[in-house]
């Protein structure tokens, strides 16, 4: 039951479309290295396509009608897009949901210190990382510093070619006899991920003169006091730009494919829908997936449910019962990346159930660990309809499982949305070296993700599975 390589199916026009999409996606990755930046980019794309603020619509209180397009943000770190369809909201939506947070190194709240005439930022890593991958490489600082008066400084340092970069040092190989015998998980410790920020002492300063240089620079250049770190969200991320990968340029190397590749594909799909889709289309870009979908901007929060409730109210639906119906009658692709089969680590996979780069969008019926623990196990009836939807649209797709049984595992937002009673299956792009500072995808799989999500949003229909 092998699936064909998507590249072999493309016409010259499609190959051009793959290249154009890849170029715009690389620009999205370069400008969207944090969840906040991704929200800003996606809102601006949506506004250009005629979306308006749901909050504004709520304030106006005017009824919504089929064809209306709305966006809603949650604390600037999560985003919802709705494109109202012909059928009443109570009949359910076609939903695509991805996350826009990626593993990274966060700056602590009280971060600055000096040691041996180097000034450092203390950090706390975010998400699942192999810590040794984050040393000895250029890092950029992104985020926001909020002052006590409420004003905010948006920070992006290390992206412009003329910017300095920062980073974490590693021990020289010459003195690494002991380090090299350690387990990979202990080679670099969490507290060992501190970032070098400065190395020049301030004239006339006696104690911590290098830190003094740094504090002075932060004040003069950015208007930030040391105390302002108390209310900041600063993320150290790989400073490199996304690049074509492979001599044939068939792949993209970049930071944060997990899960911005699916997020970008979703937004592209949403913006390509007809003026009035059959069912209301919804795109979720959520935060905090990498740390368990927690907090007010994670999928476990109620912002999605609240927004649907507001939409329903403005569409003239029944409060309470209408909301339950709208959610339970919905269909969703939980769009998240999958582990691409890596021949260098073949023993980690069971090959015929592994996602192959270039064979199109992957469907994971279940994820989870051990005996599928923590998984959403999609129902067969839904998968049957999804297969038909994909084949009708001539999408290249494959099925996949996240590695060999009992080796590890992972989860997505699928199981959370499934709690509403909606039909949910995981669907995403295969990634090599997932969660590394630079990940690899195939351009063909990005293209197929857009085609898959478009077909799903446009044509997926209601279920008929009652007994």
Q: Which stretch in 117-125, 186-194, 328-336, 370-378 sits in contact with Mn ion by CB under 5 A?
A: 328-336
- Which of 103/277 has CB closer to Mn ion? 103
| Residue 163: DSSP 8-state | S
CB of 256 to Mn ion, least distance (A): 10
d(CA 2, CA 423): 26
Give the H or E element holding residue 102: none
84, 280 Cβ separation under 8 angstroms: yes
CB of 428 to Mn ion, least distance (A): 8
Q: Which stretch in 105-113, 207-215, 220-228, 336-344 sits in contact with Mn ion by CB under 5 A?
A: 336-344
- Which of 85/409 has CB closer to Mn ion? 409
- Which of 240/258 has CB closer to Mn ion? 258
Q: Which residues contact 56 (CB under 8 A, 6 or more apart)?
A: none
Place of tokens 């003094």: 212
CB of 257 to Mn ion, least distance (A): 9
Q: Classify burial at 10, counting beta carbons within 10 Å of its beta carbon; exposed 0-12, middle 13-18, buried 19 or more.
A: middle
What the block records as the tokens of 105 is 């190194």
Q: Which residues contact 180 (CB under 8 A, 6 or more apart)?
A: none
CB of 289 to Mn ion, least distance (A): 6
CB of 430 to Mn ion, least distance (A): 12
Q: Which stretch in 74-82, 164-172, 188-196, 334-342 sits in contact with Mn ion by CB under 5 A?
A: 334-342
Site string for Mn ion, 207-246 (x = CB under 5 A): ----------------------------------------
d(CA 246, CA 241): 16
With CB under 5 A, what is the number of residues at the site for Mn ion?
Answer: 3
Residue among 130, 124, 105, 122 at smallest CA distance from 183: 130
Beta bridge partners of 82: 70, 282
Q: Which residues contact 39 (CB under 8 A, 6 or more apart)?
A: 73, 76, 77, 78, 79, 100, 285
Site for Mn ion in 247-276 (CB under 5 A): 258-259
CB of 408 to Mn ion, least distance (A): 12
CB of 91 to Mn ion, least distance (A): 30
| Residue 4: DSSP 8-state | P
Q: Interface with Mn ion includes 72 (CB under 5 A)?
A: no
Q: Interface with Mn ion includes 101 (CB under 5 A)?
A: no
Q: Which stretch in 333-341, 369-377, 390-398, 400-408 sits in contact with Mn ion by CB under 5 A?
A: 333-341
- Which of 258/266 has CB closer to Mn ion? 258
Q: CA dist 191 to 102, 123, 125, 236, 387, Å? A: 20, 7, 9, 15, 47
CB of 298 to Mn ion, least distance (A): 13
CB of 356 to Mn ion, least distance (A): 19
- Which of 187/431 has CB closer to Mn ion? 431
Beta bridge partners of 121: 112, 195
* Orientation of helix 257-270 relative to helix 12-31, angle to 10°: 120
3-class secondary-structure state, position 31: helix
Residue among 270, 280, 269 at smallest CA distance from 311: 280
What the block records as the tokens of 436 is 């590394």
- Which of 268/367 has CB closer to Mn ion? 367
- Which of 208/259 has CB closer to Mn ion? 259
- Which of 88/403 has CB closer to Mn ion? 403
- Which of 72/336 has CB closer to Mn ion? 336
Q: Which of 336, 423, 439, 445 touches Mn ion (CB under 5 A)?
A: 336
Which residues of the chain form contacts with Mn ion (CB under 5 A)?
A: 258-259, 336
């Amino acid at each position: 039951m092998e699936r064909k390589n998507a590249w072999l199916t493309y016409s010259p026009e499609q190959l051009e479309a793959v290249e154009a999409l890849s170029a715009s996606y690389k620009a999205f990755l370069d400008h969207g290295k944090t969840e906040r930046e991704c929200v800003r980019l996606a809102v601006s794309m949506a506004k250009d396509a005629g979306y308006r603020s749901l909050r504004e619509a709520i304030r106006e209180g005017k009824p919504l009608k089929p064809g209306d397009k709305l966006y809603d943000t949650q604390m600037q770190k999560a985003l919802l897009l709705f494109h109202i369809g012909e059928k009443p909201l109570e009949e359910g939506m076609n939903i695509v949901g991805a996350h826009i947070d990626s593993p990274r190194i966060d700056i602590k709240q009280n971060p600055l210190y000096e040691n041996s005439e180097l000034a450092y930022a203390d950090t706390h890593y975010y998400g699942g990382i192999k810590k040794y991958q984050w040393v000895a490489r250029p890092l950029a600082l992104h985020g926001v510093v909020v002052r006590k008066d409420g004003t905010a400084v948006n920070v992006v340092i290390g992206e412009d070619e003329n910017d300095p970069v920062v980073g974490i040092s590693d021990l020289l190989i010459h003195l690494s006899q002991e380090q090299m015998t350690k387990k990979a998980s202990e080679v670099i410790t969490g507290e060992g991920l501190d970032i070098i920020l400065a190395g020049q002492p301030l004239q006339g300063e006696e104690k911590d003169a290098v830190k003094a240089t740094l504090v002075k620079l932060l004040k003069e250049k950015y208007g930030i006091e040391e105390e302002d770190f108390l209310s900041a969200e600063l993320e150290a991320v790989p400073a490199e730009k996304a690049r074509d990968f492979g001599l044939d340029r068939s792949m993209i190397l970049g930071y944060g494919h997990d899960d911005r590749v699916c997020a970008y594909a979703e937004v592209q799909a949403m913006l390509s829908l007809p003026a009035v889709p059959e069912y209301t289309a919804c795109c979720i870009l959520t935060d905090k997936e990498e740390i368990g979908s927690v907090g007010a901007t994670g999928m476990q929060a109620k912002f999605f449910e609240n927004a649907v409730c507001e939409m329903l109210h403005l569409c003239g639906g029944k409060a309470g019962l209408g909301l339950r119906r709208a959610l339970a009658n919905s269909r969703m692709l939980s769009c998240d990346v999958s582990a691409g089969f890596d021949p260098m680590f073949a023993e980690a996979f069971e090959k015929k159930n592994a996602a192959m780069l270039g064979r199109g969008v992957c469907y994971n019926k279940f994820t989870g660990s051990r005996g599928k623990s923590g998984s959403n196990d999609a129902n067969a009836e839904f998968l049957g309809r999804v297969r038909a939807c994909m084949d009708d649209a001539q999408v290249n797709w494959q099925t996949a499982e996240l590695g060999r049984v009992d080796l590890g595992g992972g989860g997505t937002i699928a199981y959370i949305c499934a709690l509403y009673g909606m039909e949910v299956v995981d669907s995403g792009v295969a990634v090599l070296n997932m969660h590394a500072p630079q990940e690899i995808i195939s351009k063909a799989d990005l293209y197929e993700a857009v085609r898959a999500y478009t077909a799903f949003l446009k044509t997926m229909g209601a279920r008929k599975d009652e007994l």
